[in-house]
A and B are shown apart, each in its own frame.
Chain A
Amino acid sequence: AQSVTQLDSQVPVFEEAPVELRCNYSSSVSVYLFWYVQYPNQGLQLLLKYLSGSTLVKGINGFEAEFNKSQTSFHLRKPSVHISDTAEYFCAVSRGGYNKLIFGAGTRLAVHP
C-alpha cells in the first residue's frame, strides 16, 4: 500500500523568500507523483506531476519539484513566493492505470508581507 507524508502542516514565510514544502512517500511499486494547490473554498488545481523522465519537474506559477527515488521524496519549491501563493498544498501519489490518488494531509503555506 502507498502512503504520503507531508512533513510540515504549516509553513509561514515572508513574501519574496524561497520556500520548500516537503513530501515523502512509501510504495513497493513505481508511482506517479503530483502536487495540487487548494485555495480557500475552492477545488484542487494541479501544480505539477511526475510520471517518468527528468526528475526535475516544472509546474505552473513558478513552482518546481524534484523526484528523488532513493529518498522517496518529491519536495515542492519556489524561489520567491507571493502573497497570492497563500493556500493549502497537497502531495499525492498514484500507481498509474487510473487516477486513484493517495493524498498527504496537506501543508498550509502562509505568505506574509
Chain B
Amino acid sequence: NAGVMQNPRHLVRRRGQEARLRCSPMKGHSHVYWYRQLPEEGLKFMVYLQKENIIDESGMPKERFSAEFPKEGPSILRIQQVVRGDSAAYFCASSHLDSPDEAFFGQGTRLTVV
C-alpha cells in the first residue's frame, strides 16, 4: 500500500511563473490536507479538501494560491506568479473517512523561487 505520493520532490521556478504541486493520497483516503513549512518554522495548515469540495481554506493566502481535489486524479496546489517568499516545503497529508484524526504525510515538495 503506497503512502502519500507527492511530486515533484523539488521544483524550481522563476519569479512570476506558476507552480503546480501534486498529491496522490493513500489508497482509500478521501481527505487531503496541504501544509506549508517555511524555513526554520513549523508546518502551517493551508487547506482541507474532500473529493470535489474545499472544506476549510482558512490558511490559504487570499491571492495567487488555489487548491483542488477532483473526482479523478491527484490533488493539486497551484501557485500563480510565484514570489521569493513562496519558497518553502509544501506537504500533503491524507486521512480516511473513518479516521479523520490520523493523517499520513507525504515527503513534501520543496519549492525554490529564483
A residues lining the B interface (CB < 8 Å): 4, 32, 36, 41-46, 49, 51, 90, 94, 96-106
Q: Which residues of A contact B101 (CB under 8 A)?
A: 32, 49, 51, 94, 96, 98-99
Chain A residue at minimum C-beta to C-beta distance from B108: A43
Alpha-carbon separation in the docked complex, A45 to B3 (Å): 11
Do the beta carbons of B43 and A90 come within 8 Å of each other?
yes
CB-contact partner of A43 in B42, B45, B48, B106, under 8 A? B106
B residues lining the A interface (CB < 8 Å): 4, 6, 31, 33, 35, 41-45, 48, 55-56, 91, 93, 95, 100-108, 110
Total residue contacts A-B, CB cutoff 8 A? 64
Do the beta carbons of B45 and A102 come within 8 Å of each other?
yes
User: Assuming A43-B91, A44-B91, is B45 touching A100 (CB within 8 A)?
Assistant: yes
Chain A residue at minimum C-beta to C-beta distance from B56: A100
Q: Which residues of B contact A36 (CB under 8 A)?
A: 105
Do the beta carbons of A103 and B42 come within 8 Å of each other?
yes
Do the beta carbons of B41 and A98 come within 8 Å of each other?
no
